């Protein structure tokens, strides 16, 4: 939230929300949507002014899931912060890990080895699929289609199983860490991934058969939640919200990281600016993610999965028994941690929801001075009012769904 | 003997005695209520099992064999819940709502005949405007929803109630019109006559499912009947994901149970009507093939269809339902009536 006392800077722009007259002066019905409402994806609260069922005013109220994650990270050592990043956007932990890890690495001027980068890509894309599946399931359930929900969760379950296999944890993986990744892939993981890659395309076809040409689904999403490309840019929307409005922008291609430029895939762009095209963008992204995983898995480079730096990562277990130096490193790392040089770094990665940026400030100590997440959910939420004014209550549900916000990510 | 009808052997004796007559009627009512309550409960079980199967889960399987006692557990749970009413409700209408719902749903069964055995069917009252009576009482459920929504002192409930009113006027006309061709063809409004409607087509003598001669009526009836029962894709007054619970947001305990019961009973009612009107009710049957087998099988088939729809289809917006009702179903129904009338006149002279 912008501080009203700070004069607007030279960069950026200020968007002021117009104050409306209170509802009771007119013939409007003010309804509280949330924080306890089945379709607000957690604890989003919307104060909605209704004229019949037509929405005349909408004010999002956030803060019900504030967990102080950013502040918490200031009290944790650099390598401990990874664990907390899992938890703000709880539908895409590896991508949050990645943003943080890349920011810390940028600060320290190191780069993860090629094998780690490929593993990071695989996990990020798996996460993107899982996150889109949750989106698909919940937003179709919100529009009344119960079956798709369970089918989408069937496939997400496979991703969670793979998370467990590779990191030991189903949701909060903490798999991607500054300097590399936590563990190498196991043969079982490779098998699971192969099966997943084989089954998934036909499963996505199944979702499309159920929804893409379903007249009711099309009627409920087409021309609903209109957000022009210009407005999307003005409001800072990113991810499928931006690409569904015809703006061709994907950080993976335009600001490549982790070697995304080495894979051949297509950025999904649709020009419909409505819920239906955002749905198609997300379906397309799942297919593209499968392509990327296929290429990353086939061309998985051999070599270490972590930087070879004893100041940053603990020595292997067997070295502790033979090397005094290793013991010292181990002790220092787990009592004090490491300290990046004084400075600040910002790295943004493309999560399922959009630009997930991480800004870290180091004052040269072993704990960050400040960590700030530029979360896609929070910024995309700003477009809600623009999309919803003038539509009906039933459409509001589709519009909340299409914004695909994770409330933990909004409040942090 | 138009009230309690047992087709064979010709009853006399106890029926000619006024006291005995009313005893029989009362017993018949109690028996019908019992059967309907059981049928409704098992419809809920059937829906949960089917939804489970559709969605790759087992469904209820813990209480009793195949989860068959799940509904008893649910019933006890609902009955023993605290009956909670929020502040500011209209005390009388808040109670009248669920009562009207369940009363209207049961009342329709006063005229619905049930096939039991060869040449033997069962009903409480055999009035000559049976279908009109069914429609008259079953459209009362919109009032129940409207009253419940309005009296709950909740904005979501109010929106749900308003939607119910909007929904009523959009499907009701089409629903009535869809059956006019049936009346033209069979020449009767009595459900028994419609179910027994027979033809002499060449070598074939006997009852036929009317869906063959009036398929468009069947389609319109199915769409409008789904709207009448507030089932997906027309479950707008309820719309859990939009209006939380719609009209029954503020209902709990037994009052909620009554709404729930009414909804499922309506589903059974429209399935039975579809069976009687379009699928020849208890035909075919024979001395060795009891009438209740085809009768119940057809009803279960329609219930399956409703549950399948619920699993698969998204929900319409209520202005879309109004558009569907007024701009699609109504003209289609009109055309259907005119064409059927013309054909019937041309054929019979």
Looking at the complex, report in whole angstroms how far the Cα of residue B320 sits from the nearest Cα belonging to chain A: 9
Using the predicted structure, report yes or no on whether residue B4 has a pLDDT greater than 50.
no
Q: What is the mean pLDDT of residues A46-72?
A: 85
Q: What's the predicted TM-score (pTM) here?
A: 0.86
A interface residues, B as partner, C-beta within 8 Å: 29, 31, 37-39, 50, 52-53, 140-147, 149-151, 154, 210-211, 214, 216-217, 219-220, 392-397
Q: Which residue has the higher pLDDT, A211 or B232?
A: A211
Q: Nearest Cα to B244, choosing from A116, A142, A18, A373?
A: A142
Using the predicted structure, report yes or no on whether residue A3 has a pLDDT greater than 70.
no
| Torsions phi, psi for B117 (to 5 deg) | -140, 180
The string of DSSP codes covering A271-282 is S--SHHHHHHHH
Residue A285's pLDDT is: 92
Say how far apart CA B35 and CA B39 lie, in whole Å. 6
Closest chain B residue by Cα to residue A29: B155
Contact (CB<8Å) B316/A31: no
Task: For residue A128, name the pLDDT band (cuts at 50, 70, 90).
Answer: very high
**Which of B157, B242, B313 to probe by mutation at the A interface, max A CB count within 10 Å?**
B242
Say how far apart CA A40 and CA B76 lie, in whole Å. 32
* Greatest mean pLDDT among A15-29, A243-257, B17-31: A243-257
Using the predicted structure, report yes or no on whether residue A266 has a pLDDT greater than 50.
yes
Contact (CB<8Å) A146/B310: yes
* Burial category of B25 from C-beta neighbours within 10 Å (exposed 0-12, middle 13-18, buried 19 and up): middle
B194-244 pLDDT per residue, tens: 887 777 777 877 788 888 888 888 999 998 888 888 887 888 777 777 777
Looking at the complex, report in whole angstroms how far the Cα of residue A33 sits from the nearest Cα belonging to chain B: 9
Q: Which residues of B touch A214 (CB under 8 A)?
A: 313-314
Q: Which residues of A touch B243 (CB under 8 A)?
A: 393
Q: Is B321 on the interface with A (CB under 8 A)?
A: no
B294-337 pLDDT per residue, tens: 888 999 999 999 999 888 888 888 888 888 888 999 999 999 99
Question: Hey, which residues 250-269 in chain B have their CB within 8 Å of chain A?
Answer: none
Contact (CB<8Å) A144/B313: yes
Q: Which residues of B touch A223 (CB under 8 A)?
A: none
A33-43 pLDDT per residue, tens: 878 887 777 78
Q: Which residues of B touch A219 (CB under 8 A)?
A: 316-317, 320
Q: Which residues of B touch A145 (CB under 8 A)?
A: 312-314
Say how far apart CA B236 and CA A53 lie, in whole Å. 12
Q: What is the mean pLDDT of residues A371-389?
A: 88
Using the predicted structure, report yes or no on whether residue A263 has a pLDDT greater than 70.
yes
Say how far apart CA A116 and CA A184 lie, in whole Å. 8
Of B54, B241, B310, the CB nearest to A397: B241
**Which of B316, B317, B321, B328 to probe by mutation at the A interface, max A CB count within 10 Å?**
B317
Using the predicted structure, report yes or no on whether residue B111 has a pLDDT greater than 60.
yes
Contact (CB<8Å) B57/A143: no
Helices (H), chain B: 18-54, 70-80, 91-107, 130-138, 140-151, 155-186, 191-195, 215-228, 240-243, 253-278, 292-312, 318-323, 330-348
Residue B134's pLDDT is: 87
Phi-psi label, residue B26: left if phi above 0, alpha if psi -120 to 50, beta otherwise = alpha
B46-100 pLDDT per residue, tens: 998 998 988 888 888 888 788 888 888 888 888 888 878 888 888 888 888 889 8
Using the predicted structure, report yes or no on whether residue B175 has a pLDDT greater than 60.
yes
Using the predicted structure, report yes or no on whether residue A132 has a pLDDT greater than 90.
yes
Residue B57's pLDDT is: 86
Q: Which residues of A touch B315 (CB under 8 A)?
A: 143-144, 216, 220, 394
- Fill in the DSSP letter of residue B314: P
Residue A23's pLDDT is: 46
* Burial category of A203 from C-beta neighbours within 10 Å (exposed 0-12, middle 13-18, buried 19 and up): middle
Closest chain B residue by Cα to residue A150: B55
Distances (CA, A) of A328 to A100, A177, A319, B165: 27, 22, 11, 77
Q: Which residues of A touch B165 (CB under 8 A)?
A: none
Contact (CB<8Å) B55/A38: no
Residue A29's pLDDT is: 80
| Torsions phi, psi for B56 (to 5 deg) | 60, 35
Of A150, A210, A393, the CB nearest to B242: A393
Looking at the complex, report in whole angstroms how far the Cα of residue A280 sits from the nearest Cα belonging to chain B: 17
Share of chain A above pLDDT 90, in %: 25
A92-125 pLDDT per residue, tens: 899 999 999 999 999 988 988 999 999 999 999 9
Closest chain A residue by Cα to residue B159: A53
Q: Who's near A206: CB < 8 A, 6+ residues apart?
A: A151
A313-359 pLDDT per residue, tens: 888 888 888 888 888 888 888 888 888 899 899 999 998 888 999 99
Q: Nearest Cα to B225, choosing from B165, B194, B271?
A: B271
Using the predicted structure, report yes or no on whether residue B3 has a pLDDT greater than 70.
no
| Torsions phi, psi for B309 (to 5 deg) | -60, -45
Task: For residue A6, name the pLDDT band (cuts at 50, 70, 90).
Answer: very low
Distances (CA, A) of A281 to A268, A284, A287: 5, 5, 10
Tell me the average pLDDT of chain B.
82
Using the predicted structure, report yes or no on whether residue A219 has a pLDDT greater than 70.
yes
Residue B285's pLDDT is: 74
* Greatest mean pLDDT among A199-203, A305-309, A334-338, B157-161: A199-203
Q: What is the mean pLDDT of residues A65-90?
A: 88
Tell me the average pLDDT of chain A.
85
Using the predicted structure, report yes or no on whether residue A19 has a pLDDT greater than 80.
no
| Exposure of B324 in the CB half-sphere (CA atoms within 13 A) | 22
Using the predicted structure, report yes or no on whether residue A194 has a pLDDT greater than 80.
yes
Residue B17's pLDDT is: 67
Q: Which residue has the higher pLDDT, A403 or B121?
A: A403
Contact (CB<8Å) A38/B241: yes
CB contacts < 8 A (A, B) = 82
Task: For residue A360, name the pLDDT band (cuts at 50, 70, 90).
Answer: very high
């Amino acid at each position: 939230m912008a501080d009203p006392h700070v004069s607007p800077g030279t960069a950026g722009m200020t968007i002021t929300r117009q104050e409306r007259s209170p509802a009771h002066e007119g013939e409007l019905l003010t309804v509280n949507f949330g924080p306890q409402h089945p379709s607000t994806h957690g604890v989003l609260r919307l104060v909605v002014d209704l004229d019949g069922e037509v929405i005349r005013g909408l004010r999002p109220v956030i803060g019900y899931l504030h967990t102080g994650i950013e502040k918490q990270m200031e009290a944790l050592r650099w390598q401990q912060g990874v664990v907390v990043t899992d938890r703000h956007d709880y539908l895409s932990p590896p991508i949050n890990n990645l943003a943080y890890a890349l920011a810390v690495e940028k600060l320290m001027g190191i780069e993860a080895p090629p094998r780690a980068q490929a593993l990071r890509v695989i996990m990020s894309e798996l996460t993107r699929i899982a996150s889109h599946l949750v989106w698909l399931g919940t937003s179709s359930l919100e529009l009344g289609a119960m079956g798709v929900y369970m089918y989408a969760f069937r496939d997400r379950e496979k991703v969670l199983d793979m998370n467990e296999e590779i990191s030991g944890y189903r949701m909060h993986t903490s798999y991607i860490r500054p300097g590399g990744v936590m563990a190498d892939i196991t043969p079982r993981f490779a098998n699971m991934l192969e099966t997943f890659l084989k089954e998934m395309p036909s499963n996505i076809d199944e979702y499309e058969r159920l929804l893409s040409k379903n007249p009711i689904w099309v009627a409920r999403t087409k021309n609903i939640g209109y957000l022009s490309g210009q407005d999307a840019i003005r409001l800072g929307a990113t991810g499928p919200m931006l690409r569904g409005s015809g703006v061709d922008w994907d950080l993976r291609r335009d600001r490549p990281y982790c070697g995304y430029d080495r894979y051949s895939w297509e950025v999904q762009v649709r020009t419909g600016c409505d819920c239906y095209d955002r749905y198609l963008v997300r379906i397309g992204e799942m297919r593209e993610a499968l392509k990327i995983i296929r290429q990353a898995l086939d061309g998985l480079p051999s070599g270490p999965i972590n930087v070879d730096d004893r100041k940053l990562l603990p020595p292997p277990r067997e070295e502790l028994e033979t090397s005094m130096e290793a013991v010292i490193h181990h002790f220092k790392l787990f009592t004090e941690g490491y300290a990046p040089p004084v400075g600040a770094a910002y790295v943004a990665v493309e999560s399922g929801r959009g630009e997930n940026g991480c800004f870290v400030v180091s004052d040269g100590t072993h704990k960050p001075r400040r960590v700030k997440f530029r979360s896609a959910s929070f910024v995309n939420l700003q477009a809600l009012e623009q999309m919803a004014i003038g539509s009906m209550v039933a459409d509001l549900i589709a519009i909340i769904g299409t914004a695909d916000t994770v409330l933990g990510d909004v409040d942090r | 003997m138009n009230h309690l009808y047992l087709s064979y052997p010709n009853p006399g004796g106890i029926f000619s005695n006024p006291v005995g007559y009313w005893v029989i009627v009362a017993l018949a009512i109690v028996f019908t209520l019992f059967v309907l309550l059981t049928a409704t409960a098992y419809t809920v079980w059937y829906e949960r099992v089917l939804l489970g199967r559709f969605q790759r889960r087992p469904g209820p399987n813990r209480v009793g064999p195949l989860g068959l006692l799940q509904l008893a557990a649910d019933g006890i749970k609902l009955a023993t819940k605290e009956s909670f009413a929020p502040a500011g409700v209209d005390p009388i209408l808040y109670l009248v709502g669920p009562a009207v719902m369940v009363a209207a749903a049961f009342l329709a069964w006063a005229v619905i005949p049930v096939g039991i055995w060869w040449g033997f069917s069962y009903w409480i009252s055999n009035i000559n405007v049976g279908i009109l009576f069914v429609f008259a009482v079953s459209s009362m459920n919109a009032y129940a929803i409207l009253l419940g929504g309005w009296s709950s002192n909740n904005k979501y409930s109010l929106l749900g109630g308003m939607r119910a009113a909007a929904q009523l006027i959009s499907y009701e006309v089409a629903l009535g019109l869809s059956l006019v061709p049936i009346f033209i063809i069979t020449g009767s409004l009595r459900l028994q006559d419609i179910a027994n409607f027979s033809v002499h087509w060449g070598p074939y003598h006997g009852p036929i499912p009317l869906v063959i001669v009036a398929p468009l009526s069947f389609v319109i009836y199915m769409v409008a009947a789904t709207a009448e029962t507030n089932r997906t894709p027309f479950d707008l007054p309820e719309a859990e994901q939009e209006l939380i619970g719609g009209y029954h947001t503020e209902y709990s305990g037994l009052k909620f149970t009554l709404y729930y019961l009414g909804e499922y009973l309506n589903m059974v009612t429209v399935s039975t009507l579809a069976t009687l009107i379009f699928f020849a009710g208890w035909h075919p049957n024979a001395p060795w093939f009891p009438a209740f087998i085809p009768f119940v099988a057809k009803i279960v088939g329609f219930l399956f269809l409703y549950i399948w729809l619920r699993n698969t289809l998204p929900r319409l917006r209520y202005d879309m339902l109004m558009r569907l009702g007024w701009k699609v179903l109504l003209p289609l129904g009109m055309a259907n009536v005119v064409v059927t009338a013309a054909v019937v006149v041309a054929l019979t002279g």
